[in-house]
Copies of this chain bind each other. A is one copy, B any other.
Amino acid sequence: MLEVSQRGHAMPLSPYRRLTPFADAAKQRGVQVHHLNIGQPDIETPPVMLAAVQQANIRVLEYSPTAGYPSYRRALARYYQQVGISVTPDDILVTAGGSEAIFFALMSCLNPGDELIIPEPFYGAYTAFAVATDVRIVPVTSHLADGFAPPLIEEFERRITPRTKAVLLCTPNNPTGYVYSRAELEQLKDLCVRHSLYLLSDEAYREFCYDGDYVSAMHLSGADDHIVILDTISKRYSACGARIGAFVTKNKALQQTAFKFAQMRVSPPGLAQVLAEAASELPDTYFDHTKAEYQARRDLMVSRLRAMPGVECPVPGGAFYVMARLPVDDCDTFCQWLLEEFSYHGQTVMLSPASGFYATKGLGKQEVRMAYVLNCEALGLALTCLEQALLVYPGREVPVPEAAFDQDR
């Protein structure tokens, strides 16, 4: 019998994908769908970067070197220096998006069956990468009530077994927006040094911290061999479609190992490296505008959400996501209902049910992730849809009148 592989069967279908047909059907019916469900910003890709591709004088679009164009790796090293990350071009392997950096990290650091500790909720694709590389994710739960601060270091420590090889964190965090403090990172670094673990740090949202300074795992000292930064230009320059990322480590043996996996696919995308390199032409003030824009959206979203009865959300310090608790029975059902049955003035909203961000079954049932990737006007309309929907959704929590408590006493 001709069958697909068991690992193919085991691969998850993204939760976003499950809702797509309902969104498409809503659009078919003429309903306008506001997309808060994916991290695809509406911010324009810097024209100077697009112009570099347009002006590139290419006769033959050749393979780039496996690790990326030397000129781009030098430009990237300069960028890292500017954000206080002291690396050389040799410490950088250019990848096809942050995705490939994650893949190379899991392949290079862990063997089949090894364990990877990740604070949950976490970026859903980590699960797919773990299945593809036969790595076991061991979640440590963070909670909405604590603003999704990382769990106590003891919680990490007690999950370490002889099969544990790495801790994977994401700061600023997708999906929670939490920004790790230096003290929290130091604790995790010490843990990794103590137990000979790699510390994999996904820093895709580095530029977007609103309430304080950003700390990178590579700002820490004394653990160079342990630390790998998984990076991407997707969010930084609103260039998700370029597929340019980076695997960054000062651990020579690990860098050489990742390089062997990179050789397999010959080279990262060529045109997109030209685009990425031109980021060095951006003025120092480039991120000021983008950050201010995202911060205004965050503030709008948080204040609107907090004004809705029964909705709870922490103020996320970074990235462009808000995780909120909604007063509904089940957010998977609710998000589908929003697309299938609800509309308000011909509009509705698409959200990400949080269940896809938790490894522990049953968690996140009342939570959603919302990406503030729309301008404030569109965001306002989207949030009005949510507000109205929560008033009429059949599975909404009915607030218990205070009198009910009195009778029980």
Asked if A324 is an interface residue, CB under 8 A from chain B, the answer is no
Question: In whole Å, how far is A338's beta carbon from the nearest beta carbon of chain B?
Answer: 22
**Smallest beta-carbon distance A119→chain B, Å:** 20
Q: Is A360 an interface residue (CB 8 A)?
A: no
Nearest chain B residue, comparing its CB with the CB of A16: B263
- Considering the chains assembled together, what is the distance between the CA atoms of A54 and B61 in angstroms? 14
Q: Are A107 and B8 in contact (CB under 8 A)?
A: yes
CA distance A109 to B253 in the complex (A): 32
Q: In this complex, which of A7, A14, A44, A254 has the most chain B Cβ atoms within 10 angstroms of its Cβ?
A: A7
B196 adjacent to A1 (CB under 8 Å): yes
A243 within 8 A of B: yes
A59 at the interface (CB under 8 A from B): yes
**Are B63's CB and A45's CB within 8 A?**
no
Judge whether A311 is part of the interface by a CB distance below 8 angstroms.
Answer: no
A264-279 at interface with B (beta carbon < 8 Å): 264-272, 275
Q: Report copies per complex.
A: 2
Query: A259-298 interface mask toward B, CB cutoff 8 Å, 1 = contact, 0 = none?
Result: 0110111111111100100000000000000000000000
- Of A83-91, A95-103, A363-371, the segment with at least 4 beta carbons within 8 Å of chain B is A95-103
A271, B53: Cβ atoms closer than 8 Å: yes
Q: What separation, in Å, do the CA atoms of A226 and B1 have in the docked complex? A: 11
User: How far is the CB of A320 from the nearest CB of chain B, in Å?
Assistant: 14
- Report if A5-B264 is in contact (Cβ < 8 Å); known contacts: A11-B257, A41-B60: no
* Given the contacts A45-B59, A107-B5, A243 and B261 also touching, CB distance less than 8 Å: no
Taking the nearest CB of chain B, how far is it from the CB of A68, in angstroms?
11
Q: Chain A 20-48 against B: per-residue CB contact (8 Å), 1 yes, 0 no?
A: 00000000000000000010111111000
Given contacts A5-B114, A45-B58, A270-B272, 18 further A-B pairs with CB under 8 A are: A4-B253, A7-B111, A7-B112, A8-B109, A9-B257, A11-B261, A17-B263, A38-B63, A53-B271, A61-B238, A61-B241, A61-B275, A100-B265, A128-B263, A129-B264, A241-B269, A271-B275, A272-B272
By a beta-carbon cutoff of 8 Å, the part of chain A in contact with chain B is 1-2, 4-9, 11-14, 17, 38, 40-45, 50, 53-55, 58-64, 96-97, 99-100, 103, 107-112, 114, 125, 128-129, 132, 134, 165, 196-198, 225-226, 238-243, 251, 253-254, 257-258, 260-261, 263-272, 275
